[in-house]
Amino acid sequence: MPKFYARRRLSILAAFTGLIASVGLFNGPTASAALPTPISAATARTYLASLTVATENRTGYDRDLFPTWITISGTCNTREYILKRDGSNVVTNSACTATSGSWYSPYDGATWTAASDLDIDHLVPLAEAWDSGASAWTTAQRQAFANDVTRPQLIAVTDNVNQSKSDQDPAEWMPSVTSYRCTYVRAWVQVKYYYDLSVDSAEKSALTSYLAGC
């Protein structure tokens, strides 16, 4: 079982309350923010130092072991929730499908007006999570990770950029917009720390280097 359950001591009620609060985004002003603001660089450096360094193991990985997308509110699933959160002037129909809006992809600096041009990126990829500890989780725990709208783990980005990133870690891939890289690695470390996932040596070296410049 992941240690984050004991470490964070989050009760089911507290998590549910947080989800209800975040769902308020649907009824509030038009959202234009991207992912939740990650921890500071200083905190990220502290968290990174505490992460276990281990060799990755992908044996047994199957994306279906991380169920997506789940219902977040009403007819809105995780993808639709993130599109609403990350876009500007987003209009949705009764099925919660985005029919219009504008989305800025911070990875590559592109702006899109069709939701079909956006993928919802798992900032820490599902395969990467499996490699670094999620293989020991239950399906319910993997589902929670794959649909986490509270941590800085899900973000709407240009679809082919997300596909190019695939399951690579920061030693292998980084956003082409260099000004976003500090945000990216801070978020990466936050997610890995929260879920008690390990890092491999090349990944830790890359994260250390990027965080030194934040």
The rounded distance, in Å, linking the Cα atoms of 123 and 192 is: 10
The CA-atom distances, in angstroms, between 9 and each of 4, 5, 13, 72 are: 8, 6, 11, 22
- In the chain the first and final C-alpha atoms are separated, in Å, by 33
Name the DSSP class of 122: E
Residue 112, pLDDT > 60, answer yes
As given in the structure block, the two tokens for residue 59 are: 């044996």
- Strand-pairing partners, residue 102, are 88
The rounded distance, in Å, linking the Cα atoms of 64 and 79 is: 16
Q: What percent of the chain has pLDDT over 90?
A: 83
Residue 92, pLDDT > 70, answer yes
pLDDT score at 21: 35
pLDDT score at 35: 83
The CA-atom distances, in angstroms, between 106 and each of 1, 65, 154, 187 are: 34, 28, 13, 13
95-122 average pLDDT score: 97
pLDDT score at 187: 98
The CA-atom distances, in angstroms, between 61 and each of 1, 16, 129 are: 17, 29, 10
pLDDT in tens, 143-192: 999 999 999 999 999 999 999 999 999 999 999 999 999 999 999 999 99
pLDDT score at 2: 53
- Considering the chain, what is the average pLDDT of its residues? 88
Pair 123, 191: CB distance under 8 Å = yes
Q: What percent of the chain has pLDDT over 70?
A: 84
- Comparing 127 with 34, the larger pLDDT belongs to 127
Residue 19, pLDDT > 50, answer no
Contacts of 6 (CB under 8 A, 6+ apart): none
Secondary structure element (H or E) that encloses residue 141, with its range = helix 139-146
Residue 8, pLDDT > 90, answer no
What is the CB-side half-sphere exposure of residue 129 using CA atoms within 13 A? 29
Residue 33, pLDDT > 80, answer no
The rounded distance, in Å, linking the Cα atoms of 2 and 129 is: 12
- Strand-pairing partners, residue 71, are 77
